[in-house]
A = this chain, B = another copy of it.
């Protein structure tokens, strides 16, 4: 098969008819497949459901003299803080262990910055004439939406193979209206990139004009390798401290993709000053988080070492799915020469860049054939991909057989959309 670029019009036309016929066949099958969200599969969830037996009676609920069934311990129970300090490589006093959702913790940080200000804010962000937020893109739509929700102007920063383009970041932070940046430093969503050591150093050493500039460090995939060995990752909190920016970073993580996506335990990690500041702010809205669930998790996950063992079990389920994606793309898309993508070793996504101007159309075709994908554009601020080229593939949820079908449809749609464009020109 030739690359589309080297085909003449009649060859393209022929190719189009062939793909169209296959597409119509797929459509006739009334599929209902979903690669839209990074949801764990049933198999993964089943593999960790012993968690539910970690706390089953009254005596189980007592730990370090604390009755987890009652009010109290707003910052989280001690053993849960220890657990997260171990996983993230930070200190116990730099952790605040919450309830189910790290997104909610991130939201609360931005929300509180907006209404009351961060530790070093001259005033609450809602009293600023304008605020801006840096969004390395492709990135995570839910991150961008949080800052958009609070009226920030979203500024796209390019992603490189080393993480966000730090030349751009260092330039943008000279503007005092730029209040922060969203980061997924390990297996970035969706590119699966691990920020390089140089990128980390440059982050820690940023000298933003805004005294309350916040690095929102969503370490969502901190232990989420599905191929190869666990990749150790430096503690950004300590790095920022060493660089004289102790309060600049807020790190987040959760067990959503370790145990249960809907019922895990989330954590915020930051300088002790930030944790103290937020514990005080949070005391207005909550008395305590779900400590029984914290304890259940600590009893089951034990520590970082044991968590990594569990992640190896997940890897055995995840790896074949990413293999299906990779093989389909290699077989069906690579020869056509109009798309490229990453081959991550961890995280939950494959980020594909198709022919510019065809991503939306391709996913429209997918939808009509019963395959749901993350909407095109979702990986860019305001949901608008200026090139209309990036598509996030989330292969974790469907079983392998379904995934094979879904990838077949998806690749056909990519090709159809590209051929339509080429034939229109």
Q: How large is the interface on A (under 10, 10 to 19, 20 to 34, 35 or more residues)?
A: 35 or more
CA distance A289 to B57 in the complex (A): 23
A396-B209 Cα distance, complex, nearest whole Å: 52
Cβ B100 vs Cβ A285 within 8 A: no
Given contacts A45-B70, A56-B52, contact A103 B287 (CB under 8 A): yes
Which of A46, A99, A261 has the most C-beta atoms of chain B within 10 angstroms of its own C-beta?
A99
CA distance A37 to B292 in the complex (A): 20
Shortest CB-to-CB span from A359 to chain B, Å, is: 24
Q: Mark A25-58, 1 if CB is under 8 A from B, else 0.
A: 0000000000001011010011001001101111
A279 near B: Cβ within 8 Å? no
0/1 per residue, A53-72, Cβ < 8 Å to B?
10111101100000111111
Q: Please, which residues of chain B bring their CB within 8 A of the CB of A149?
A: 116, 284
Question: With A49-B61, A290-B293, A293-B290 known to touch, is A263 a contact of B69 (CB < 8 Å)?
Answer: yes
The stretch from A107-115, A191-199, A299-307, A382-390 touching chain B is A107-115
Q: Does B45 contact A99, Cβ atoms closer than 8 Å?
A: no
* B residues near A72, Cβ cutoff 8 Å: 262
| A101 B67 Cβ-Cβ under 8 A | no
Number of copies: 2
Q: What is the chain B residue whose CB lies nearest that of A101?
A: B286
Chain B minimum-CB-distance residue to A46: B58
Q: Does A260 count as interface, using CB distance less than 8 angstroms?
A: yes
Chain B hits for A49, CB < 8 A: 57-58, 61, 69
Which residues 274-290 in A have Cβ within 8 Å of B in the complex?
A: 284-290
Chain B contacts for A39, CB-based, 8 A: 70-71
Interface residues of A in 189-247 (CB under 8 A from B): none
